[in-house]
């Protein structure tokens, strides 16, 4: 009996270890976000791929001349405005999230492969840039992850949850969850910004702002003639000769595109500051004042 | 399952770190700072020698301490101005201070072609700049008159030969589109060859790579002869300064620089794309070619040599 039992235990352990071994071997399918097994029966969404084709085409097109650059940038800006102002229907197209991703990836690649090749960025500057970029990615990743988690199990309930909405909340058609008034659905990140991930959203925007500001400054001072603003801070001065060469023009145009993004992040942050912070910090202020008056 | 997640994390971290190492590799990045001669050591490192047939009637020696510790930055707008009256620059662009005896004689060799307006600005600026330094100098402009691609290095060789014949112990090989901003950047030779333009505005005031030896350099005539000058085969703008560097390297001549703040230059043209292309050209340099290609194989047709008020103009057909 005793021997049998130990034998059985031994078998168990053996089976467990083999199971573990199977589990711990990594395959390519596990590493790729969309495994080949998935894409076999589910065709890759065209909407998600399009930005990765359209954006480089637009950027290459705008390298032809100053006028074309201006037209293309205005065109992109108008498109973004139109999309933003459209009534928010039940639209879960991954196109916009893909657009954000492709913008980030292309700008990163052009910085690291195009601008760095001119050998005018020092190691320290490159390191600071990468650090800022990593932080940005981390915060936005966290924002997405928290939103996904909330969607699956969080406190914000799904459709079956109370049909009666409180005064300061509305129902997000896209995420199919109830969101507070303060929070919203972002098509550019393809997720809802809720109370749990709001802080990640703001932090991501702040770091995105810093990364874009730093990156475009480095890029523009590299491709253009810079001047010393103060101390070691340089600013671009004369960008007239960038269109003579294709790679310089591409770097320049991407920097201009980055400046557009910088403007948008600035507006988003400004909105957060103007609308939300006074409203929600008011009670705290009152607390402090109460403490002082007592 | 936890093991699996852990492995995945390790893998991602590994990829991240490797990417970081690749992107931050020193060869892919420029240098904000480098080894240089500290200000207090500059005077000891200078090569004190004047031209062979130069004599000064002044009694006292010039003092260079003030020049080296001069903190001013010259405005670029000088290039649009005219020279001050009574500048006392001799025919051929030669000048020596009158109130003191200079310790240094320098020949400034400028290869040139076709950009007359730029040359005018350069000459006015350089004379205004160099007057402040109390040195004896002469500007040689070597112009390529044929229609072949520009051969900067060969023109430099021609100018250097002319300057050495005139007895100058120190050569400054200078591009016409570079303007020194700091009068503290003394146009005299150090004991080792010196890269003067290590902080150019167009390159964001950084040094693109450590062995860069182009733009504006100073080298003693003896050393220039010793390394057999520059190569004569580089038609078009590429790699001739890397070639010169490898020549110095084989003769065990290290390069020196002054601190970045002193070595500031202003560049005024469209030649910034050269840098990355040059690095692919290193395979040209061979030890054999150094012996046979250079000053001793210099062949050209001298069209004319004219002494202008501000410079010596050597016109050549390569």
pLDDT at A237: 86
Q: How confident is the model at residue B69 (pLDDT cuts 50, 70, 90)?
A: very high
Give residue B313's Cα distance to chain centre.
19
Q: What is the mean pLDDT of chain B?
A: 88
Residue B127 exposed, middle or buried by CB count within 10 Å (0-12, 13-18, 19+): buried
Candidate from B8, B23, B203 with C-beta closest to A126 = B23
Using pLDDT thresholds of 50, 70 and 90, give the confidence band for residue A23: very low
All domains of chain B, ordered by start, with CATH? 34-317 (3.90.550.10)
User: Residue B33's pLDDT is what?
Assistant: 85
What would the pLDDT profile of B200-237 be if each residue is shown by its tens digit? 988 889 999 888 998 999 999 999 999 999 988 888 76
On chain B, the residues whose CB falls within 8 A of the CB of A126 are 23-24, 28-29
Contact between chains at B204 and A226 (C-beta distance less than 8 A): yes
What residue ranges in A90-217 does DSSP mark as E strands?
Answer: 169-172, 177-180, 184-186, 191-193
- Name the β-bridge partners of A226: A236
Q: What's the whole-model pTM score? A: 0.82
> Would the pLDDT of B277 be above 50?
no
What average pLDDT does the segment A267-293 reach? 74
By percentage, how much of chain A surpasses pLDDT 90?
39
Rounded distance, CA A225 to CA B124, Å? 22
Residues of chain B that touch chain A, judged by Cβ-Cβ distance less than 8 Å: 1, 3-4, 7-8, 11, 20, 23-24, 26, 28-32, 201-206, 208-209, 270, 272-273, 275-276
Mean pLDDT of A203-220: 95
Prediction ipTM score: 0.86
Q: What is the dihedral of CA B91, B94, B97, B103, to 10 degrees?
A: -150
Cα R_g (chain A), whole angstroms: 25
Task: Sort out which chain A residues have CB atoms less than 8 A from B1's CB and list them.
Answer: 23
- Contact by Cβ (8 Å): A176, A159: yes
Contact B160, B228 (CB under 8 A): no
Out of B26, B201, B270, the one facing A123 most closely (by C-beta) is B26
């Amino acid at each position: 009996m005793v021997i049998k039992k130990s034998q059985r235990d031994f078998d168990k352990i053996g089976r467990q270890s083999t199971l573990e071994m199977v589990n711990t071997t990594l395959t390519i399918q596990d590493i790729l976000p969309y495994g080949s097994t998935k894409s076999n029966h589910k065709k890759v969404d065209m909407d998600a791929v399009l930005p990765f084709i359209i954006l480089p085409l637009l950027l290459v097109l705008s390298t032809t001349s100053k006028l074309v650059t201006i037209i293309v940038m205005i065109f992109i800006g108008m498109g973004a405005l139109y999309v933003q102002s459209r009534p928010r229907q039940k639209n879960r197209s991954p196109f916009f999230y893909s657009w954000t991703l492709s913008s980030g990836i292309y700008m990163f690649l052009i910085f690291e492969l195009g601008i760095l090749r001119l050998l005018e960025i020092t190691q320290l500057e490159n390191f600071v840039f990468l650090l800022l970029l990593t932080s940005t990615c981390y915060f936005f990743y966290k924002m997405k992850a928290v939103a996904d988690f909330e969607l699956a199990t969080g406190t914000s309930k799904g459709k079956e949850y109370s049909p009666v909405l409180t005064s300061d909340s509305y129902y997000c058609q896209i995420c199919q969850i109830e969101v507070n008034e303060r929070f919203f659905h972002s098509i550019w990140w393809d997720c809802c910004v809720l109370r749990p991930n709001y802080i990640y959203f703001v932090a991501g925007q702040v770091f995105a702002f810093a990364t874009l500001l730093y990156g475009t400054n480095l890029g523009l001072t590299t491709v253009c003639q810079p001047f010393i603003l103060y101390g070691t801070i340089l600013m671009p001065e004369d960008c007239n000769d960038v269109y003579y060469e294709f790679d310089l023009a591409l770097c320049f145009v991407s920097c201009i595109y980055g400046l557009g993004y910088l403007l948008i992040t600035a507006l988003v942050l400004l909105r957060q500051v103007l609308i939300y912070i006074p409203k929600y910090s008011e009670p705290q202020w009152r607390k402090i004042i109460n403490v002082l008056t007592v | 399952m936890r093991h699996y997640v852990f492995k995945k994390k390790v893998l991602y971290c590994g990829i991240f770190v490797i990417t970081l190492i690749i992107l931050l590799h020193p060869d892919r990045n420029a240098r904000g700072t480098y080894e240089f001669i500290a200000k207090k050591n500059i005077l000891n490192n200078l090569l004190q020698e004047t031209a062979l047939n130069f004599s000064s009637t002044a009694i006292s020696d010039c003092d260079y301490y003030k020049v080296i510790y001069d903190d001013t930055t010259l405005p670029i707008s000088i290039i649009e101005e005219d020279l001050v009256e009574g500048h006392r620059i001799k025919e051929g662009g030669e000048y020596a201070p009158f109130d003191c005896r200079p310790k240094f004689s320098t020949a400034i060799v400028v290869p040139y072609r076709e950009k007359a307006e730029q040359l005018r600005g350069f000459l006015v600026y350089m004379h205004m700049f160099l007057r402040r330094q109390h040195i004896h100098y002469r500007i040689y402009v070597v112009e390529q008159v044929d229609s072949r691609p520009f051969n900067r290095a060969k023109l430099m060789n021609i100018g250097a030969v002319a300057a050495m014949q005139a007895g100058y112990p120190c050569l400054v090989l200078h591009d016409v589109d570079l303007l020194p901003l700091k009068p503290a950047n003394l146009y005299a030779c150090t004991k080792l060859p010196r890269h003067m333009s290590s902080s150019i505005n167009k390159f964001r005031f950084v040094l693109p790579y450590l062995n860069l030896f182009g733009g504006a350099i100073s080298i003693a005539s003896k050393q220039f002869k010793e390394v057999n000058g520059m190569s004569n085969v580089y038609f078009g703008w590429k790699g001739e300064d890397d070639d010169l560097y490898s020549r110095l390297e084989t003769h065990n001549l290290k390069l020196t620089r002054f601190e970045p703040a002193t070595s500031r230059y202003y560049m005024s043209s469209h030649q910034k794309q050269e840098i990355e292309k040059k690095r692919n050209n290193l395979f040209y340099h061979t030890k054999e070619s150094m012996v046979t290609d250079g000053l001793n194989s210099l062949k050209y047709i001298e069209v004319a040599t004219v002494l202008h008020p501000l410079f010596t103009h050597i016109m050549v057909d390569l």
